[in-house]
Amino acid sequence: MKSRSYLPYYFIAPAAIIIFGIALYPILHTFYISLHQINLKFPDLGMSFIWFENYIRLFRDVRAMSALLNTIFFTVSTVALELIFGMIIALLMDRALRFRGILRATVLIPWAMPTVVAAMLWRWMYNDQSGIINAILVATGVTTEYLQFLAEPALAWVAVIVTEVWKTTPFMALLLLAGLQVIPREVYEASAIDGASKIRTFFTITLPLIKPVLLVALLFRTLDAFRVFDVIFVMTGGGPGNSTESLSLYTYKTMFGALDFGYGSALSILTFVCVILISVLYIKFIGTKTR
């Protein structure tokens, strides 16, 4: 009898081993490295165990802290905008009866484009002398002079956020659309009979009913935005004056530019911890609301 109770463990063992091998082991190894001073440039200095010194350095490092704040700012602003625009597009697509297929395919184009290609495209569009955005702004009289978008920290942020929102709103819209389409039509009919306004219907019926889908979409996008690298790397390289450097970009520069793998690993672990915190918060939120 006793041996039978072990049986389930044998069944889950392969899955557990694979998960450990591809997810857990790299994280644990990164953590192990982050407790050492190790720089590939100096193999003769070896790998010395320094406890949490890299973490102490991290919290004293102004650049790391501002990269963290930049990342949080980027995440919050892009996800909020994607939510608003994604919701509007999803509601429109839910209504549209004709050309539905074409509409959905068109909306997906930015999402299907490789991020680096899209970022490169936008970089040229923002160009201060030959960019189309400046041409449009001046032609429509919004500004009288050409703006140096990527040369001013505030404008560079706008530029990067617009690119990211343009790129990933379709993903949000499609997930939300899926949520909208499973809402039974009768509920809407009932609210119409009760004489509820459109806005009232949206807030008391649509929103609560798509909440689970909404939270999953938000979770995906938040985690994704928090790891932002490519858009910023291509468009600004972290500039101007390092004002748009994200945590991933700083980690990359530390690891592959400076070859400081010990400190770079500590930065990776910081990203990992933040991502875990975000996930836990969301999952808690999703869990309680659907019960």
Determine the straight-line distance between the first and last CA of the chain, rounded to whole angstroms: 37
Q: What are phi and psi of 126, to 5 degrees?
A: -85, -5
Phi and psi dihedrals of 143, rounded to 5? -130, 160
Tell me which residue of 268, 246, 234 sits closest to 70, measured CA to CA: 246
Kindly give the interhelix angle for 53-60 and 62-95, rounded to the nearest 10 degrees.
70
Q: How many residues bind another protein (CB under 8 A)?
A: 33
Pick between residue 164 and residue 260 the one whose CB is nearest to another protein: 260
The reply on whether position 36 binds another protein by CB under 8 A is: no
Asked if residue 119 binds another protein (CB under 8 A), the reply is no
Check binding of 191 to another protein (CB under 8 A): no
**Among 30, 55, 63, 286, which residue interacts with another protein (rule: CB under 8 A)?**
63
The answer to whether 77 contacts another protein (rule: CB under 8 A) is no
Residue 241 engages another protein in binding (rule: CB under 8 A):
yes
Q: List the one residue from 16, 259, 276, 277 that touches another protein (CB under 8 A).
A: 259
Q: Judged by CB under 8 A, does residue 132 bind another protein?
A: no
Shorter beta-carbon distance to another protein: residue 37 or 191: 37
Which of 103, 153, 205, 220 binds another protein (CB under 8 A)? It is 153
Nearest distance in Å: CB 250, another protein: 10
By C-beta, is 151 or 286 nearer to another protein?
Answer: 151
Could you tell me the smallest distance in angstroms from the CB atom of residue 151 to another protein?
Answer: 4
Applying CB under 8 A, the residues found at the interface with another protein are 37, 39-45, 63, 127-130, 146, 148-153, 236-242, 253, 256-260
